[in-house]
Structure 1
Amino acid sequence: MIRTLFMWLGAMLLGASVAHAEPVTLDGTEQWTMQSAQGREYRIMISLPEGDVPYTGGYPVIYLLDGNAYFPAFHAAKRAQKRLRGSILVAIGYPSDTPLDFVRRAFDLSPPAPPARNDPPQGGQDLFLDFIEKRLMPKVAEHFKVDQDQRSLVGHSFGGMFGVYTLFTRPTLFQHVVAVSPSLWWQDRYLLEPERAFNKRAYAGQLNLTHSSLTLLMGERDLVQAIQDARALQERLQDLSQYGLRSDFQIEPGEDHMSVPFRVPTRVLDELISARRF
């Protein structure tokens, strides 16, 4: 009887505990809801800067794609070490309870697709870039002191592909791009055309790449072809070092396509924050 009573009381207490449970809140963060010009809603997660404003007059800002999936890991890595805290992490996500919203990201991060392949809808990369450049960046600058010479973009898979596209088509938008396991093979390597246009402008002296960088970071267990494509891209871009573009190719041992973005946050943040413009 006593044992039964204790079991009943325990169940009641457990039930009361669960009934009053609340979502976990990450310290040092805030969240915004924003819309694009077309009315698409975004969930913006901010890892707030800590400490005094740097001598540059503003905090470096790191924009992170697929924020629902990767913001917690990058935020934790940023707060774990003092040297990383004096920066702003802006993660762009969606009003969804799934880590990766495949329908939304398929549109935002991709080029236009032939009708036969346009399911789910694709082709929103320029609209998404407009949202980042014309809506999100100005709002971040309104709320924080921002170092305009220290803006970075980090993306994985489709997000990495989008980062490379951004470098090629809007090279002044970010000083540094980190493409983690980028999908360079997408649509028969469609990025080759904007790459050629980018190279042409660079060799013609039309671009200031003095403080620009691209890091291609692959998992050791990524597809062999994907690793080869990334290495080949970095090799093709090496000649642009004479115009200031720094390019790098790295392999993370033991990691595959889906595990690598959770393995590298500290290294990525450290590289981006230490790559100051002097």
Structure 2
Amino acid sequence: MKLFISTLIFNGLLLGPVSAVAAPSQEPVPERPVTLDQTLEWSMQNEEGAAYRILISKPEGEVPYSGGYPVIYVLDANAYFASLHEAKRAQEQFRQAIIVGIAYPGEAPHNFLRRSYDLSPPVPEENNTPPQGGQDELLDFIEDRLMPAVAERFPVDTHHQSLYGHSFGGMFAIYALFTRPDLFNHLVAASPSLWWDDSYLLKHERDFRQQVEAGEANVIHHSLSLIVADHDSLQNQQDASQLYQRIEPLSAYGLRSSFYTVEGEDHMSVPFVLESRVLKQILGSRHG
């Protein structure tokens, strides 16, 4: 051990050593990755062999009176899972929920190529760069593989399953409502890209409205929340507002809808101020 010799000097005279002090330790401080309490992760593949990371925010507390926990499925979970999980845990009234993050392998917050395929409609070959058109493959994966896997591990309230997406994810959530209205009870679409592919969702919207009005689609206890940032593009804001105006009359058939603008935020920042609003919109909803 190295020692530092302390001496006492008085009037310029060296009076000799006073004490011996051990040198500061040079041992490095151990480091380890940060982990999120009350979470788990597993890997899955869809029918085509594409891999996903499934991130789970575990429920806390007793099983609700319904016999199962409400479930929130979150798209682009590499970016949005952690903050939503912590917002849930910090507020006692939300802790019974299960959050299921649909994430991609790797550490990037957004996997541009994978999400461009998973969340979009098919397009002509000459426009298929990057590859697009996987929206039904992803819905099949969620319905046929992911939901059963979650239900194997936890008691699930099958009447309270929700989907949350941002941008392309918001567009995908609306597509899910229009084409598979029985799959999710509550959908939250933040800054949805309704302009994509010449507003391709308009046709699906017309078909959905006709089905609801004809009694072929049951939307009682269902909801759609549309959220935009006030610094989103003007087209994004107008498209979402106009969709809300067209959908709102379906409240006569049981579908609740809402439109909200977040002040002071832009397209990329808005998801990170929405955690509590998303939880309230979904978990505060009454269900059958």
Same fold (TM over 0.5): yes
Q: What is the deviation of 1:9?
A: 6.1
- The residue matched to 1:49 in structure 2 has which SS? coil
State the partner residue of 1:214. Answer: 224
Q: Aligned AA for 2:269?
A: S
State the partner residue of 1:173. Answer: 183
Identity percentage over the alignment? 55
State the partner residue of 2:15. Answer: none
Structure 2's unaligned 5+ residue stretches are: 5-22
Distance 2:202 2:250 in 1: 16
Structure 1's unaligned 5+ residue stretches are: 3-7
Q: What is the deviation of 1:115?
A: 1.8
2:44 to 15, 29, 34: 34
2:152 to 120, 142, 146: 142
1:234-263 deviation line (CA, Å, top 9, x unaligned): 000112111111111001111110011000
Distance 2:149 2:71 in 1: 13
Say if 2:280 is the partner of 1:273.
no
- The residue matched to 2:62 in structure 1 has which SS? coil
TM-score (norm 1): 0.94
Q: What is the deviation of 1:118?
A: 1.1
Alignment of 1:8-157 (within 5 A): 12-13=26-27, 16-17=28-29, 20-157=30-167
- The residue matched to 2:120 in structure 1 has which SS? coil
2:208 to 186, 198, 207: 198
Distance 2:156 2:43 in 1: 20
Distance 1:91 1:276 in 2: 23
State the partner residue of 2:245. Answer: 235
- The residue matched to 1:206 in structure 2 has which SS? coil
1:262 to 272, 275, 280: 272
Q: What is the deviation of 1:181?
A: 0.4
Q: Aligned AA for 2:71?
A: V
Distance 1:239 1:83 in 2: 31
Distance 2:128 2:109 in 1: 23
Q: What is the deviation of 1:116?
A: 2.2
- The residue matched to 1:227 in structure 2 has which SS? helix
Distance 1:241 1:270 in 2: 20
State the partner residue of 1:5. Answer: none
State the partner residue of 2:233. Answer: 223
1:22-78 deviation line (CA, Å, top 9, x unaligned): 211100000010010111100000000000000111100000000000011100100
Contact residue 119 and residue 134 of structure 2 kept, 8 A: yes
TM-score (norm 2): 0.91
1:196-248 deviation line (CA, Å, top 9, x unaligned): 11111111110111111100000111111110000000000112111111111
Q: Aligned AA for 2:282?
A: L
State the partner residue of 2:7. Answer: none
Q: Aligned AA for 2:207?
A: A
Of 110-119 and 76-85, deviating more is 110-119
Q: Aligned AA for 1:48?
A: K
Q: CA RMSD in A?
A: 1.5
1:186 to 192, 196, 200: 196
Distance 2:31 2:286 in 1: 43
- The residue matched to 1:60 in structure 2 has which SS? strand
> Which one has the bigger helix percentage?
1
Write out the 4+ residue segments of structure 1 that deviate beyond 3 Å after TM superposition: none
Distance 1:183 1:204 in 2: 28
Distance 2:219 2:149 in 1: 26
1:108-134 deviation line (CA, Å, top 9, x unaligned): 000012222211110000000000000
- The residue matched to 2:40 in structure 1 has which SS? strand
Contact residue 226 and residue 258 of structure 2 kept, 8 A: yes
- The residue matched to 1:240 in structure 2 has which SS? helix
